C-alpha cells in the first residue's frame, strides 16, 4: 500500500465513521482490506482505492464496514450489567413509576451480544417489570453486523464468552451447531443502521445509553461532539455506560461520573461556565 493510498483511506474513514487511524496502523488496513480487495477481484489495496475514487459506492461501504471493530461478547466486562441490575433499574423503577416505561439505547450494538445481554437482564427482573413498556434500540454503522444481530444466531464459541450457562439454556435454543436466542428476547430489540457522526435526534430520549468501546476509536473533537449530542438524547436523571477504557473526564461537562459506580455517568445539570456556549470561559474571567 502506498502512502498516498493510506492517506486516502485514513481521510475517508475519518469522514465516514469517525475512525481516527494513526499513521502506524497501515498493517491494520492491510490485514482487513486485502481480503476485501481479493473478494472484489482486485489485485490489492491500490486497486481498491482506485475503484473507490471512481465512485464505487457499495465498495466504499464495504471498506468502512471492514475497518469497523466488532469485537463483542455477552455481558462484556460484567460491571455495566451489574450497574444496570443493581443501580439503574432500581432507580428508574422509582423514577418512572408513573409512566411505567424504559427506553435503552445500545449505540454500538454490533452483532447483538450487548443488546441481548440487556434484554436478558430486564427479563431476569421477573414480575418487577410486568406491565412496563421496555424499548431497547440497537444501532450500528454496519448493516452486516445488524443482520447478524437480528438473526440472533451465535456459534458455540460466542455463547461461551461471558454468558452464564443457566442463561444459555433458558434463553437460547440449539439450531444445529449454532445457538439462537429465543424469539421473545429477539422481539425486545429494535435494530437500526446509524452513524454516530450523523444526527440521531430522531431516536428520541433515553433512560439509559450504552455507548461502549466505540468512542475510543474517535479523536478528541469527535468524542466531544458525540458526548454533547448524547446528552441531548438523555433524560435528566438518565444513565450513560461507557467502556472500561473510556471516560468523559477532561472532555465534556455534559456528563458527570456516578459517585460510586465506575463506568457509569449521568447528565450534569450544573454545567461549568467555561464550557457553556456563549459564556466567557473561567480562564478569561480570571484574566479579566
Partner 1 sequence: MKTCLIVDDSSVIRKVARRILEGFSFHIVEAEDGEKALEVCRRELPDAVLLDWNMPVMDGYEFLRNLRRMPGGDQPKVVFCTTENDVAHIARALHAGANEYIMKPFDKDIVTAKFQEIGLI
The residues of the shown chain that bind partner 1, judged by CB under 8 A, are 73, 78, 156-157, 160-162, 164-166, 168-169, 173-174
**How far is residue 88 from each of residues 29, 212, 261, measured CA to CA in Å?**
39, 16, 10
Query: 156 vs 282, which CB is nearer to partner 1?
Result: 156
Least distance from partner 1 to the Cβ atom of residue 114, Å: 15
How far apart (Å, rounded) are the C-alpha atoms in residues 239 and 196?
18
DSSP H or E segment with residue 184: helix 183-186
Shortest distance (Å) from residue 179 CB to partner 1: 9
* Minimum gap (Å) between residue 185 Cβ and partner 1: 16
Of the pair 72, 266, the CB lying nearest partner 1 is at 72
The C-alpha angle with vertex 52 and arms to 29 and 224, in degrees rounded to 5, equals 60
Dihedral angle over CA of 158, 161, 163, 168, nearest 10? 40
- Between 26 and 69, CB nearer to partner 1: 69
Beta carbon nearer to partner 1, 73 or 255: 73
CB of 176 to partner 1, least distance (A): 11
Choose between 81 and 239: whose C-beta lies nearer to partner 1.
81
- CA dihedral in degrees (152, 156, 157, 159; nearest 10)? 50
The residue (of 171 and 217) whose beta carbon lies closer to partner 1 is 171
* C-alpha–C-alpha distance, residues 65 and 77, integer Å: 24
Q: Give the separation between CA 239 and CA 148, rounded to whole angstroms.
A: 27
Phi, psi of 106 (to 5 degrees): -100, 105
- For the CB of residue 164, give the shortest distance to partner 1 in the complex, in Å: 6
Of 11 and 173, nearer to partner 1 (C-beta) is 173
Enter the C-alpha cell of residue 101.
416505561
Give one word for 216, left, alpha or beta, with left for phi > 0 and alpha for psi -120 to 50: alpha
CB of 288 to partner 1, least distance (A): 54
The nearer residue to partner 1, 172 or 227, going by C-beta atoms, is 172
Per the CB < 8 A criterion, the answer to whether 51 and 9 are in contact is no
CB of 241 to partner 1, least distance (A): 19
Strand pairing partners for 178? 175
Smallest distance from partner 1 to CB 79, Å: 12
Rounded CA-CA distance 76/39 in Å is 32
Amino acid at each position: 500500500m502506498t502512502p498516498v493510498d493510506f492517506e486516502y483511506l485514513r481521510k475517508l474513514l475519518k469522514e465516514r465513521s469517525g475512525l481516527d487511524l494513526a499513521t502506524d496502523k497501515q498493517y491494520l488496513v492491510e490485514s482487513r482490506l486485502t481480503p476485501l480487495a481479493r473478494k472484489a477481484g482486485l489485485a490489492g489495496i491500490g486497486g481498491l482505492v482506485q475503484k473507490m475514487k471512481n465512485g464505487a459506492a457499495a465498495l466504499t461501504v464495504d471498506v468502512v464496514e471492514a475497518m469497523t471493530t466488532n469485537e463483542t461478547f455477552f455481558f462484556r466486562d460484567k460491571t455495566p450489567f451489574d450497574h444496570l441490575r443493581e443501580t439503574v433499574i432500581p432507580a428508574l423503577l422509582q423514577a418512572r413509576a408513573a409512566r411505567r416505561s424504559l427506553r435503552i439505547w445500545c449505540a454500538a450494538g454490533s452483532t447483538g451480544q450487548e443488546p441481548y445481554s440487556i434484554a436478558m437482564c430486564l427479563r431476569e427482573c421477573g414480575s418487577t417489570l410486568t406491565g412496563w413498556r421496555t424499548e431497547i434500540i440497537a444501532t450500528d454503522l454496519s448493516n452486516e453486523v445488524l443482520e447478524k444481530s437480528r438473526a440472533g444466531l451465535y456459534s458455540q464459541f460466542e455463547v461461551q464468552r461471558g454468558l452464564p450457562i443457566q442463561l444459555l439454556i433458558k434463553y437460547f435454543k440449539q439450531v444445529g451447531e449454532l445457538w439462537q436466542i429465543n424469539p421473545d428476547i429477539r422481539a425486545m430489540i429494535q435494530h437500526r443502521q446509524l452513524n454516530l457522526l450523523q444526527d440521531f435526534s430522531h431516536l428520541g430520549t433515553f433512560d439509559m445509553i450504552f455507548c461502549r468501546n466505540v468512542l475510543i476509536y474517535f479523536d478528541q473533537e469527535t468524542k466531544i461532539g458525540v458526548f454533547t449530542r448524547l446528552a441531548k438524547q438523555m433524560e435528566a436523571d438518565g444513565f450513560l455506560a461507557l467502556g472500561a477504557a473510556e471516560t468523559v473526564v477532561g472532555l465534556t461537562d455534559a456528563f458527570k461520573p456516578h459517585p460510586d459506580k465506575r463506568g457509569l455517568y449521568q447528565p450534569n445539570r450544573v454545567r461549568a461556565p467555561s464550557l457553556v456556549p456563549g459564556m466567557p470561559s473561567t480562564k478569561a474571567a480570571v484574566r479579566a
